Amino acid sequence: MELRQLEYFVAVAEERHFTRAARRMVVSQSGLSASVRALERELGAALFTRTTRSVELTGAGRALLAEATRTLAAARAAGDAVAAVQGLLRGSLSVGTEQCVNVDVGALLARFRAEHGNVEIRLRQAGSAVMAQDVADGRLDLAFITLPGPPPEGVRLLPLTSEPMVLLCYPGHRLAGVPYAQWGQLADETFVDWHQDWGARRLTDRAFAASGTPRRVGVEVYDVHTLIDMVRHGLGIAVVPQPISRKEQAAPLAVVPLKGQEDQNWEVSVALPAGDRTSPAARALLSYLDL
C-alpha cells in the first residue's frame, strides 16, 4: 500500500466522483481508477459502490477513510518536521473557520503568506462541530471555532475571546426597547437560528435547556447575513453573539441584553490536535496570536 494510493482514494471519497478526483489530483482518470482498483485488490474489499451517476463509500471504504486521512496527515507532518529542523517551512497549511468569529483570519493568513510563500494555504468554512472533528481526523491543521462543551477526542482548545449572547429583534417586536429580557419571556417566540453544527446554535440550545424554557426554531440558516435579514423582515427573533449585533446590516434592529445563564458566553477558540501533533506551519500561524 502506497501513500499515493491513499491520496487517490481520499480524493475520490471526498469528491464522490472519479473524474473530479482525477482533476483534483492532476492525473488521468484511468490511472486513478487503476490505482483504486489495485488498492481494493490488496485489501480484498470493495471500497466504493459505483453507479453511472454517483460513487459512494462502502462500509470498508468508510473504515479506511478515517485511517487513510490520519495516515496522510502523519506523513505530511513527518516531512514538515524534517523541514523545520533544517530551518525551512514548506508543505501546506489547512485552516478552518466558522463564519464571523471575531478573529481577523484574513489578516493572519495574509501575514503568513507574506512570510512563508512556499507554504500552500487552504481555508475552509463550516460549522464548529464539523471542523473540530476535521482537526481530530487530520483534515485540518487548526480551526477557529466556537464550541460549547468539551472538544472531541484528540483535540485541544486554546481560548481567544469571550462575548455575551444578546437578543436581536425587529423594531416592532414587543421586546424591542426593553432594558433586558429573561430567557423565560422567550418561550412563545419563533426563532431564526443557524444550523446545529454552528457553535452559537449549540450554545443557545444549551442556554434554553438550562433555563427550562422551550423554544421553536422556525427558520434555520447557514450564514450570518441571511439570519439578520430574516429577523429584519419579522420572520422571527434571534439569540446571537454580541459582535453579530454590531454589524452594519443589523443597525436597524433592536438589541436586547439577556439576563440569566450569564455563564453561557460565546467563546472563540483555536482547535488544535492534542499532544505534540501541531504542524510547524500551524505553530508559525499561532505565533501571530496573543495567546
250, 226 Cβ separation under 8 angstroms: no
**Which residues pair with residue 144 across a beta bridge?**
97, 270
pLDDT at 216 over 80: yes
What is the average pLDDT value for the chain, to the nearest integer? 89
pLDDT at 205 over 80: yes
- How many C-alpha atoms does 220 have within 13 Å on its Cβ side? 8
Give per-residue pLDDT as tens, 25-84.
889 999 999 999 999 999 999 999 988 777 899 999 999 998 998 888 888 777 766 766
* pLDDT given at position 155: 94
* pLDDT given at position 75: 83
Give per-residue pLDDT as tens, 85-95.
555 466 789 99
CA distances from 18 to 13, 108, 153, 270 (A): 9, 35, 32, 34
* pLDDT given at position 180: 93
pLDDT at 279 over 90: no
* pLDDT given at position 88: 47
What does the pLDDT average to over 134-158?
A: 91
* pLDDT given at position 89: 64
Give per-residue pLDDT as tens, 226-252.
999 999 999 999 999 999 999 999 999
Hunting for cell 457553535 — which residue is that? 199
